[in-house]
């Protein structure tokens, strides 16, 4: 007889607005893989499992995964006109995607909405710009009024979100202080 050790729970932020996607819960997950000192390739236990569920070749197949939901610490502003300033790196985009979807839901109903800033950092546009197509679409539609991606490795000089914030300091100040 052998014992299977317990694994620590994995915590993920919900990346969807219930109003926008109805009865689904969406997550932003990046599969964690690395090489050991001996050269063996390893993959994260839970992200690998979720990746295999999502890519088993049967799009119509539904998988059930046991989860629990804990109330988060983020709260949306009390009115749709309040400015949102969101800053995230990599999968840290998840809760902000839910906020963007929430605002898109109301904007699609004809409500007027305030400015929405997203400063998003990753290394390479081509391989790390998670949900970039969605973000660009929401910027074109005016849901995100200021999309400021920072790609730190696409050019010789590193660019980070703080550089993008500094470039936008006057407009950012206007939206935060005067609106």
CATH of the domain at 169: 3.40.50.80
Tens digits of per-residue pLDDT, 98-132? 999 999 999 999 999 999 999 999 999 999 999 99
> Do the domain assignments include residue 8?
no
> Do the domain assignments include residue 136?
yes
How many CA atoms does the CB half-sphere of 17 hold within 13 Å? 15
Neighbours of 135 (CB within 10 A): 21
> Do the domain assignments include residue 35?
no
Residue 54 has pLDDT above 70, yes or no: no
116-122: strand order across its sheet: 84-89, 116-122, 146-151
> Do the domain assignments include residue 140?
yes
Q: Would you say 141 and 104 are in contact if contact means Cβ atoms under 8 Å apart? A: yes
- pLDDT score recorded for residue 1: 62
- pLDDT score recorded for residue 109: 97
Residue 62 has pLDDT above 90, yes or no: no
Residue with tokens 């009865």: 23
Q: Provide CB contacts within 8 A for 135, sequence distance 6+.
A: 100, 118, 120, 129, 144, 147, 149
- pLDDT score recorded for residue 164: 98
> Do the domain assignments include residue 53?
no
Q: Cα separations (Å) of 19 from 34, 74, 125, 136?
A: 37, 17, 29, 21
Mean pLDDT of 148-176: 96
Considering its fold, how many domains does the chain have in total?
Answer: 1
C-alpha 46/C-alpha 9 separation (Å) is 9
C-alpha 109/C-alpha 19 separation (Å) is 12
> Do the domain assignments include residue 118?
yes
Residue 23 has pLDDT above 90, yes or no: no
What average pLDDT is seen over the chain? 90
Domain of 153 in residue numbering reads as 84-177
Determine the 3-state secondary structure of 130 from DSSP.
coil
> Do the domain assignments include residue 130?
yes
- pLDDT score recorded for residue 132: 96
Closest CA to 121 of 153, 167, 83, 85: 153
Looking only at the bridges linking them, the beta strands covering 84-89 and 116-122 are parallel
> Do the domain assignments include residue 154?
yes
Residue 87 has pLDDT above 80, yes or no: yes
Determine the 3-state secondary structure of 154 from DSSP.
coil
């Amino acid at each position: 007889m052998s014992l299977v050790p317990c694994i620590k729970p994995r915590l993920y932020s919900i990346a969807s607005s219930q109003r926008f996607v109805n009865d689904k819960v969406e997550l932003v997950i990046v599969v964690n893989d690395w090489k050991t000192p001996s050269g063996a390739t390893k993959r994260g236990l839970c992200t690998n499992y979720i990746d295999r569920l999502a890519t088993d070749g049967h799009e119509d197949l539904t998988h059930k995964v046991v989860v629990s939901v804990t109330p988060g610490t983020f709260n949306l502003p009390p009115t749709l006109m309040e400015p949102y300033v969101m800053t995230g790196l990599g999968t840290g985009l998840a809760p902000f995607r839910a906020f963007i979807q929430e605002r898109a839901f109301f904007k699609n109903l004809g409500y007027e909405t305030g400015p929405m800033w997203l400063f998003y950092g990753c290394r390479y546009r081509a391989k790390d710009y998670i949900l970039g197509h969605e973000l660009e679409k929401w910027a074109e539609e005016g849901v995100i009024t200021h999309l400021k991606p920072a790609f730190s490795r696409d050019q010789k000089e590193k660019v980070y979100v703080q550089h993008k914030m500094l470039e936008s300091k006057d407009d950012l100040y206007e939206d935060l202080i005067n609106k």
